[in-house]
């Protein structure tokens, strides 16, 4: 579904700095992609009022927060992500036309400055970068203008138990997972071929490209964080919903091939599904899948899909039914490929947000694995792996079905049946796809930082603010593309900046059950705007 967020940038007269604080959020559960037409329906026009109707309560919520005198100066930004990226581009535009028409012609919609170009698809790589911006802002690495603060500000508070306060080396990376796509973004490792003068020193970091050549791009304390500094990739169709359906298709294909190879075999009428809780049944394309809750076998199936979503490895190639265990030294020299994309070696610390948190926190709670519970929220990959069997082996009918409405704070009843496959997929992706070492504790899985939700929508608000500052003080190389035909143009900001700004953002969050994500952003630019907080929350 879609989520609307309200942010405000408040000027601190004492420090002459600006802080981005949040004000509230509201959610509509219907995904925007549900309104897209099939090919057979293209001759039928979309009903604009119907398409936009589910969003109007969200804007009414925003109007209750933002004082009436600022409604007309609030700029609305709506950025659609993976769910809409899966739809044909022409149909995307048709849906956005309907959203814009339906909203702006309704007397319930108060934000008259909204433009048609404010409704668009957000590029996946930029979405990942925004996640990193949000993390680094909340952790105190950058300010509201996306400038590095310098080493003296990188201690992240005085909490001695804060893992990221113990070891810190440059900007934090981000891992984001939704229903339809996954993102990873981080500053690549420094090349060993770089000269010593280009090595990490003080508050300065040289960034090298994937081809192992020095580019001598410094992240100094006064430098604005830029998308070009990072390796950022979005894996479309690698969200949990899309991945689960591909795995189900593979189970069906394997069964068909097995029957063709042995026509005399006895058919039971159902297909065993190691990636579902024991006894849980689901229908898929005319077949019944019955869960066996075997995490090891499920992991072997998952491994077949990680390298490329269109080229599934043959059954048995990755040791079907046998858990792959690698020590740290063996991991260092292993090539990594996810979704057909090679990526540079991992570097630094990461934050895992959205479904990485929702699913793996459910793993922590329902697996009863003491080691995982004690090390949370910075468990090792090994601890996560060891906890998988404790979750997946649970019986559905005599156990989980009885607690499905209260099993976990972030898991609704309709989502719970998929937590086994989700957990196995995420852990396997982190370990065998991205290459996080089994004993490493480089990821913090979190939903909040100091009471603020970790979500890329905050990063989008910060990026708009930073671009506004650039526009005010003169043109210089920025962090985003202003081409209106670019996927990144969904975050084009107004060409003015004032001390206070409201920023309303509509987002289809990476909720545990959602396969699409959509975001709206609005800013108001009034010099007399009162300083009230604005942000997003579930």
Q: Do 274 and 298 contact (CB within 8 A), yes or no?
A: yes
Walk along the chain (538 residues) in steps of 10 and give the mean pLDDT of each run.
87 80 88 93 95 96 93 86 90 97 97 93 88 90 85 43 51 92 85 34 32 41 74 91 96 88 75 97 95 97 84 50 42 65 89 96 97 96 98 98 96 97 98 94 92 84 81 43 29 31 52 35 33 28
> Which residue ranges make up each domain of the chain?
2-121+452-524, 240-338+354-445
DSSP string across 367-432: H--HHHHHHTTS--HHHHHHHHHHHHTSBIIIIIHHHTTSSBTTB-TTTGGGHHHHHHHHHHIIII
Q: With helix as H, strand as E and coil as C, how does 466-479 read?
A: HHHHHHHHCCCCCC
Q: Which CATH class is domain 2-121+452-524?
A: alpha beta
Identify the pLDDT of residue 146.
87
Identify the pLDDT of residue 485.
30
Active site residue 127: yes
Identify the pLDDT of residue 325.
43
Angle between helix 381-392 and helix 355-367 axes, rounded to 10 deg: 60
Task: Give the annotated binding-site residues.
Answer: 179-183
Identify the pLDDT of residue 308.
67
Task: Give the annotated binding-site residues for ATP.
Answer: 179-183
User: Catalytic pick from 8, 60, 101, 127?
Assistant: 127
Q: Which CATH number fits domain 240-338+354-445: 3.30.420, 3.30.1490, 1.10.287, 3.40.1000?
A: 3.30.420
């Amino acid at each position: 579904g879609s989520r609307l967020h309200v942010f405000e940038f408040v000027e601190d007269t004492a420090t002459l700095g600006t802080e981005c604080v949040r004000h509230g959020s509201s959610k509509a559960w219907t995904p925007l992609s549900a309104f897209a037409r099939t090919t057979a329906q293209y001759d039928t026009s979309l009903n604009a009022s119907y398409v936009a109707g589910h969003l109007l309560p969200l804007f009414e919520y925003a109007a209750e927060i933002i004082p009436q005198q600022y409604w007309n100066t609030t700029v609305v930004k709506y950025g659609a992500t993976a769910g809409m990226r899966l739809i044909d581009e022409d149909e995307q535009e048709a849906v956005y036309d309907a959203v814009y028409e339906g909203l702006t012609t309704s007397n319930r919609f108060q934000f008259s400055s909204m433009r048609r170009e404010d409704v668009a698809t957000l590029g996946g790589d930029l979405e990942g970068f925004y996640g990193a911006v949000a993390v680094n802002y909340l952790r105190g690495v950058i300010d509201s203008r996306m400038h590095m603060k310098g080493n003296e500000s990188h201690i992240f508070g005085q909490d001695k138990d804060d893992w990221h306060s113990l070891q810190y080396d440059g900007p934090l990376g981000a891992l984001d997972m939704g229903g339809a796509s996954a993102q990873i973004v981080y500053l690549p490792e420094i090349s060993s071929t770089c000269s010593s003068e280009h090595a990490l020193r003080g508050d300065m970091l040289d960034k090298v490209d994937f081809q192992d050549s020095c580019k001598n791009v410094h992240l100094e304390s006064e430098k604005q964080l830029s998308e070009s500094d990072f390796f950022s990739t979005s894996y479309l169709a690698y969200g949990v919903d899309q991945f689960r359906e591909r795995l189900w298709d593979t189970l069906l294909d394997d069964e068909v091939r097995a029957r063709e190879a042995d026509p005399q075999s006895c058919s039971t009428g159902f297909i065993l599904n190691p990636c579902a809780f024991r006894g849980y049944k689901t229908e898929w394309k005319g077949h019944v899948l019955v869960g066996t809750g075997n995490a090891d076998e499920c992991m072997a199936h998952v491994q077949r899909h990680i390298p490329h979503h269109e080229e599934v490895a043959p059954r048995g190639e990755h040791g079907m039914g046998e858990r792959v265990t690698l020590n740290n030294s063996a991991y260092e020299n292993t090539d990594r490929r996810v979704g057909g994309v090679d990526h540079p070696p991992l570097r630094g610390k990461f934050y895992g947000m959205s479904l990485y948190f929702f699913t793996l926190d459910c793993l922590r709670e329902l697996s009863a694995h003491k080691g995982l519970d004690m090390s949370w929220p910075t468990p090792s990959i090994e601890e996560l792996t060891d906890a998988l069997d404790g979750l997946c082996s649970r019986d559905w009918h005599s156990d989980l079905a009885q607690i499905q409405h209260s099993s976990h704070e972030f898991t609704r009843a309709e989502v719970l049946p998929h937590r086994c496959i989700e957990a196995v997929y995420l852990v396997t992706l982190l370990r065998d796809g991205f290459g996080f070492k089994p004993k490493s504790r480089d990821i913090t899985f979190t939903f909040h930082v100091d009471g603020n939700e970790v979500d890329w929508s905050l990063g989008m608000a910060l990026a708009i603010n930073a671009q506004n500052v650039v526009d005010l003080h003169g043109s210089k190389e920025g962090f985003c593309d202003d081409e209106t035909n670019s996927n990144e143009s969904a975050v084009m900001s107004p060409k003015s900046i004032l001390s206070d700004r409201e920023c309303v953002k509509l987002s289809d969050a990476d909720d545990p059950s959602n396969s699409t994500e959509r975001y709206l952003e609005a800013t108001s630019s009034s010099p007399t705007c009162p300083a009230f907080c604005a942000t997003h929350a579930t």
